[in-house]
Structure 1
Amino acid sequence: MREQPRKRDSIQTQERILLAAQAEFARKGYDGARVDAIIARAKISKNLLYHHFGSKEDLYIRVLERTYETLRRRQGDVPLAGLDPVEAMRRLCESTFQVFIDEPDIIVMLNTENLHRGKHIAKSPIIRALYNRLSDTIRTILDEGVRQGVFRPNVDTVELYISMSALGYFYLSNRFTLSLLFERDLKAQENLARRKAHIVDMVLSYLTNGAPQGRWTPSAASIPLAGDAGADTPS
C-alpha cells in the first residue's frame, strides 16, 4: 500500500523541523537556542512546530534521541555476527570513533546535555533501551572471547564501553586546545588514522592481557612518527 500523501507530508515536515532544531541546538545549546530561529530555518509556522512537538523541551529530547539513534545505528551498521571476537571488537572500536568524526554534532549535543546533568535524557526511555542493546552486543563478543581463550574474564561491559568511547570522544571534543598545545593537527587524516589504531590497540591490549591465548601486536599506525612535532622527545 502506498503511503498516504498527508502522512508523508507530516513525516517530511517533522524531519525538516528536527534538522533545523539539531542545527540550532548544536550551535547554541539548549538555553541559547530559540524556537523562532528553528522556525525560520525550517520555513514553517510556529503553530505547525507546536502541532508536531508540544514544547521546546519536547523538541530537544527528540533531537537527543536522534543523536543517540545515529550513534547506535552507525555502530550497528558494522556487521559483527560471525566474526572472531578480536576482529569484532576491533570493528566496534573503529566504528565508535568514526561516527564521532563523521557526525560532529553528536559531541556538541552530548556536551550540552552533560551541562544539564542529563535531565533531558532521563525523560527518554528510548535512549536507555538503545544502550541496553549495546551492552548485550558487547557482552556477546566478550563471552565468545573468553570461551576461545583470547579475552580475559570478568570484564565489565559498561566500564569497557566508557573507556572505548572516551578514547575517541575526548580526542575530538578537545581537538582545538590539544592541537595548539602539542602543535599537531588532530583533525589531519593521518592523525585520525593513528588515533583510531591507538584506540584499537589500547582496548585489545587490555582485553587480551592475561588471557590464555591472548596476543595482540600494536598497529603500525599507532606508533609515533619520527620527526613528528607532537611526538615525545627526550628531555
Structure 2
Amino acid sequence: MTETDLKIVKRDPEGTRRRILEAASEQFATLGLAGARVDAIAKAAATNERMLYYYFGSKEQLYVAVLESMYAEFAEKESHLDLSGLEPRDAIATLAQSIWSHLWDSPRWLGLINGENLHQGRYLQTSEKLRATISPVIDLIRTVLERGAATGQIRSGVDPLDFYVTLVGMGYYIASNRFTISAFTGRDYARQPDRENICEMHLVMLDAYLRPAP
C-alpha cells in the first residue's frame, strides 16, 4: 500500500469503507457477482482498487460484506419497531406492512437476493454474521406471539421462524416477480391500488391463521 493510500485510511476509514460498500451494492445488484468489476466499484467509490482489497480482501469477500450489510439493514429496521403498545394481531399486521413496504422500496436488495439465489446461497453460507442479524426480528415476533397466546388472541404453538418466513415470502414474491406477474396476468402490482388490495388480502389471511380455534 502506498503512502497516499495509508493517509486515506487514517483520514476517513469508515467513510471509505462505506463508499465502497455503497458502490459495490449498486454494481452487484445490477450486474451480479460475475458482471461487477472491481475497477468500476473503486471508481464509483472515489477510491482505488488497492483500498478495496485492503478493506475487503477480494471481490467475493466484498460481495459477502454487501449481502451482510443489506440483511442487517433490513433486520434492524424491523427489530426496532415499537409494537408493545399494540394488540398482538395489530402488532403482527404493523410488522408485516413494514416488511412488505421495505421490499417494495428496496429494488437493490431484491436484486442482490435474486442473484445470490442463483448461486444457491453458497456465498451467504460463508458468512459468520448473517444468522445473528435475523435473531432480533424472530425474538420480536416470538414476543408478540407469546403475548397474544397468553391473552387468548392468538393461537398457541405458532413457530416464530416459520411465521416470519411465510410473512416475508408473501411480500417478496409479489415485489420480486412483479414484472413477470404483470406479463403473465396483465395486472401490475406496482400500481398502488393493486398493491394495497393484495396487501389487505395477505393481512386477512395472516390474521385468519393466527386466530384461536373457536
Q: Please say whether Structure 1 and Structure 2 have the same fold, judged by a TM-score greater than 0.5.
A: yes
Q: Write the letter of the residue equivalent to 1:162.
A: V
Q: Residue 48 of structure 1 corresponds to which residue in structure 2?
A: 51
3-state secondary structure, aligned to 2:129: helix
Q: Residue 232 of structure 1 corresponds to which residue in structure 2?
A: none
**Structure 2: distance between partners of 1:100 and 1:190:** 17
**Structure 1: distance between partners of 2:212 and 2:138:** 22
Aligned equivalent of 2:93, options 77, 90, 93: 90
| Residue pair 2:29, 2:111 contacting (<8 A) in 1 also | yes
**Structure 2: distance between partners of 1:115 and 1:87:** 36
| Residue pair 1:93, 1:199 contacting (<8 A) in 2 also | no
Q: Write the letter of the residue equivalent to 2:21.
A: L
3-state secondary structure, aligned to 1:98: helix
Q: Which has the higher helix share?
A: 2
**Structure 1: distance between partners of 2:111 and 2:151:** 39
| Residue pair 2:141, 2:160 contacting (<8 A) in 1 also | yes
3-state secondary structure, aligned to 1:125: coil
TM-score by length of 1: 0.83
Identity of aligned residues (%): 37
Aligned equivalent of 1:78, options 76, 81, 84: 81
* Structure 1 residue 79: Cα displacement: 1.5
In the alignment, is residue 181 of structure 1 matched against residue 184 of structure 2?
A: yes
Query: CA distance change for structure 1 residues 47 and 194 in 2, over 3 Å: closer, same or farther?
Result: same
Q: What are the equivalent positions in structure 2 for 1:202-221 lying under 5 Å apart?
A: 202-210=205-213
Q: Write the letter of the residue equivalent to 2:127.
A: S
Q: 5+ residue gaps in structure 2?
A: 1-7
**Structure 2: distance between partners of 1:118 and 1:157:** 22
Q: Residue 141 of structure 2 corresponds to which residue in structure 1?
A: 138
3-state secondary structure, aligned to 2:157: coil
CA RMSD across the alignment: 1.7
Q: Residue 156 of structure 1 corresponds to which residue in structure 2?
A: 159
| Residue pair 2:78, 2:98 contacting (<8 A) in 1 also | yes
**Structure 2: distance between partners of 1:199 and 1:165:** 11
Q: 5+ residue gaps in structure 1?
A: 213-235
Q: Residue 71 of structure 2 corresponds to which residue in structure 1?
A: 68
Q: Write the letter of the residue equivalent to 1:192.
A: R
* Structure 1 residue 82: Cα displacement: 3.0
3-state secondary structure, aligned to 1:27: helix
* Structure 1 residue 121: Cα displacement: 1.6
- Deviating beyond 2 angstroms after TM superposition, the runs of 4 or more aligned structure 1 residues are 5-8
Counting matched residue pairs gives 207
**Structure 1: distance between partners of 2:50 and 2:200:** 49
Q: Write the letter of the residue equivalent to 2:74.
A: L
**Structure 2: distance between partners of 1:102 and 1:113:** 19
Q: Deviations over 1:70-108 (max 9, x none)?
A: 211221242112322111101111011011011111111
* Structure 1 residue 195: Cα displacement: 2.4
Q: Write the letter of the residue equivalent to 2:55.
A: H
* Structure 1 residue 169: Cα displacement: 0.4
Aligned equivalent of 2:23, options 4, 14, 20: 20
Q: Residue 127 of structure 2 corresponds to which residue in structure 1?
A: 124
TM-score by length of 2: 0.90
